[in-house]
Chain A
């Protein structure tokens, strides 16, 4: 599924997230799917959820990590696709 960087990311209903040390754990109460996030994944999750758009999260993460912009963009797209596939997030356009 296409990811528009103007969209914003919100936690899907019935999904719980918790930071444990610097890592993250998630569960979808409907699917009973658990997921663990390493420290980078946990940070990406936090920034995505807090940011006004995926683009804003991308810019924030670009400041924090020494990474090629194209690589970060690809990683972020993959990450969002995985989270959506597990019904852990919803993406919404600004207009919605």
Chain B
């Protein structure tokens, strides 16, 4: 393995890598540090030779906690990763025919989330945009429309803070949201509609048409911002027949449950994590308004949704 000579910053974490990554250079104090090093296939074969793969593992996704406490996680046709038990190092191997962009999405998303949790962070499955120099987050499950809604904000001139994984830092009276990689994942039709050309994009993986689209620096934000509000997106099945855009502040108990449900990485469980999650999410619930956002799932109405969010933020 080569030395990690490339230094970047993402989610507030300094990433030292032995290969170039599509990330901003490291420039300020970091909340934590992770080293990313490439290794050949036999390293991984040896690491998991006695490991029991998780029961949910299949031919596409494999996961195991191995003897020394490290996490092994792999996606067929993408690559494989070993995350040390202290979350300080990710050893990785890119599959031969995987695009670099696609590999980095998995490395800097799913794989890095194990490192973040091991370092006692509690990332959310969320997409965040910048409005009036403050962060606004959208949380919801897969296919709930987080990135699509963010794309509508980008079209209108707002900037992207992060797509899919949101790392937070809470202090006594505020919560700060940290920027993710400068890219967004969208289906081609949505990308064309809101961002124009999709020429620089590649597919996330061979089984989806979802694209990874780089976002230029004018449309991204590379510094942490105070988190102004969290909008919990309604499930598409609950919203498809609705005609109106509604925003409703969630009672604290529901806000808390929504945030716990939005944990990015649910693979890592256990008492310590639950205890930490409980503390973190109660504090975020106290510090940041959490609102339910319900809207018809029609692209033509998204600008109206953005307006409703802006009006709602103005009321604060």
Contact = CB atoms under 8 A, between A and B. Distances in A.
B252 A25 contact: yes
A38 interface: yes
A21 B283 CA distance: 11
Contacts of A32: 269, 274
Interface stretch (B130-138, B232-240, B253-261): B253-261
A23 B252 contact: yes
B256 A36 contact: yes
B253 A20 contact: yes
A72 interface: no
**Interface of chain A: mostly helix, strand, loop or mixed:** strand
Contacts of A27: 274-275, 278
A37 B256 CA distance: 11
B282 interface: yes
A41 to B, nearest CB: 9
B282 A29 contact: no
Counting chain B residues whose Cβ lies within 8 A of the other chain, the interface size class is 10 to 19
A34 B278 CA distance: 9
Given A18-B282, A20-B282, A36 B253 contact: yes
Given A20-B256, A32-B269, A38 B278 contact: no
Contacts of A14: 271
A36 B286 contact: no
A16 B282 CA distance: 11
Interface string A8-28: 000000101010111111010
Contacts of B253: 20, 23-25, 36-38
Contact of B252 (A20, A29, A30): A20
B148 interface: no
Nearest to B284: A20
A23 B251 contact: yes
A34 B274 CA distance: 10
Given A16-B278, A20-B282, A20-B285, A34 B252 contact: no
Contact of A25 (B256, B271, B275): B256
A48 B253 CA distance: 19
A93 B286 CA distance: 36
Given A20-B252, A24-B253, A36-B256, A29 B286 contact: no
8 contacts: A14-B271, A20-B255, A23-B253, A25-B253, A25-B278, A27-B275, A32-B274, A37-B253
